[in-house]
Amino acid sequence: MTTSETWHDRKRYLWLFGLVPPTAILLALALVWAFNQFGWHSAAAVWWWIGPLLVYVLLPILDRFFGPDGQNPPEELMEQLENDRYYRFCVYAYIPFQLISLVLAGYLWTAPNLSWLGIDGGLNLVSKIGLAFSIGAMGGVGINAAHEMGHKKDELERWLSKITLAQTFYGHFYIEHNRGHHVRVATPEDPASARLGESFWAFLPRSVFGSLRSSWSLERARLHRMGKRPWDIRNDVLNAWLLSVLLWGALAVVFGPGVLPFLALQAVYGFSLLETVNYLEHYGLLRRRTASGRYERCTPEHSWNSDHIVTNIFLYHLQRHSDHHANPTRRYQILRSMDGAPNLPSGYASMITLAYLPPVWRRVMDHRVLAHYDGHIARANIHPRQRDRLLAKYEVRA
């Protein structure tokens, strides 16, 4: 039997693997050079796609091999773990590597001569797209690092969150996620909660533009209460975007305007990864209205969980999503896998690929939503355009 005296965090040093995404392009650089030295030029170019290879191939395989975690910290050690600064520095370290890799990628995208890497001239179009997607994957995981810091009360961590979001030009996420999504989660009013029968490709624009509108509305209302206009530097949407303008502007000055297509491509891919995760976290789940007309409090049953250990390490326990919604300021190292939460069949990395394929996604997930509500499909958060079809298909039960 495990007690507080014998318990230890077996993932304590594994959290350093969270630095793989922001350093992956450095590894790719070494592999490209080595392969070119052996004359394996075609194979060398594959490593520019190291980000997608990590997300769609390596992580799902490792999740399958290592399986679920199953370890929760004892209640009496929660405060000690919360105050252990080692864990927060594991997240802080993401930022310098992220910025170094972004600058390096800007150079690689625009360099006319990469002979030192064994490449004749600069990168070809396919390699450039792979490079942009790899840096975009880093930015997408970086949004999760920003998510971890943005929930905290410490002012420094909140600014570090905005700096991390600058790469993907998604600084408004800092506002919408904390003050919008966490209030409206698992309701039809939340643009980041996917509805039963809604494909990812329909969800993506709804979430992107809905979250943008919501973040601006939230900040405009906050500033109005202060007697300020929305076009003010204290608007957290504007000052977060300003960091992106400064970062992108600096890269354009250093590497020329030719770097801007790279920045745009990596940003779109990066925030689309975030939105894919948003899609699977609350798919079809719905909070009921109480007698007063308000929504019930968010509970573990309103978030899809996965406790697969490998993706948990890379995403700082984001997959323990029910505990996160119950305790938004709780640091990642003490998030628990909670009873009562519906569970995904695999880790987020595997489910991301399924989300891109609507027929496969529906085959895997719709019956799980139905089972979660004991066959009462009308209790789910149903996509309005699919409501009649789904109610007829599964037969409404009282």
Residues forming a β-bridge with 68: 308
Low-confidence residues of the chain: pLDDT under 70 = 1-5, 396-398
User: Is residue 265 within 8 Å of 128, Cβ to Cβ?
Assistant: no
- Residue 7 in any domain: the answer is no
Which of 273, 318, 325 has the alpha carbon at shortest distance from 296?
A: 325
User: pTM to 2 decimals?
Assistant: 0.93
Q: Tell me what pLDDT residue 154 has.
A: 85
Position 391 in a domain: yes
How much is the pLDDT for 97?
Answer: 97
Report how far residue 261's alpha carbon sits from residue 287's, in angstroms, rounded to the nearest whole number: 41
| In a domain? residue 6 | no
pLDDT at 22 (0 to 100):
96
- Assigned domain for 235 exists: yes
Q: Please, what's the b/e burial string for 70-104 (b: 16 or more CB within 10 A of its CB; e: otherwise)?
A: eebbeeebeeebeebeebbebbbbbbebbbebbee
Q: What is the pLDDT of residue 398?
A: 39
- 179: containing domain: 14-396
Q: Is residue 88 part of a domain?
A: yes
The residue type at 185: V
Question: What is the structure's pLDDT at 397?
Answer: 54
pLDDT at 201: 98
8 falls within a domain: no
Percentages (nearest 5) of helix, strand, coil residues in the chain:
65, 0, 30
In a domain, 49, yes or no: yes
pLDDT at 71: 85
Phi and psi at 382, nearest 5°, equal -95, 135
Look at residue 252 in the predicted model and tell me its pLDDT.
Answer: 98
- pLDDT of the residue at 9: 87
DSSP codes of every residue in 303-337: S-B--BHHHHHHTTTTT-HHHHHHSTTS-GGG---
> What span, in angstroms and rounded, lies between the C-alpha atoms of 55 and 347?
11
Residue 3 lies in a domain: no
CB atoms within 10 A of CB 166: 25
Tell me, what's the pLDDT at 4? 60
Q: Looking at the 3D structure of the chain, how many domains does it have?
A: 1
pLDDT at 48: 97
d(CA 320, CA 335): 6
User: Got the DSSP string for 274-314?
Assistant: HHHHHHHHSTT--PPB-TTSSBPPP-GGGS-B--BHHHHHH
What is the rounded (10 degree) CA torsion for 12, 16, 17, 20? Answer: 170
Would you state the pLDDT for residue 396? 60
CA distance 365 to 56: 19
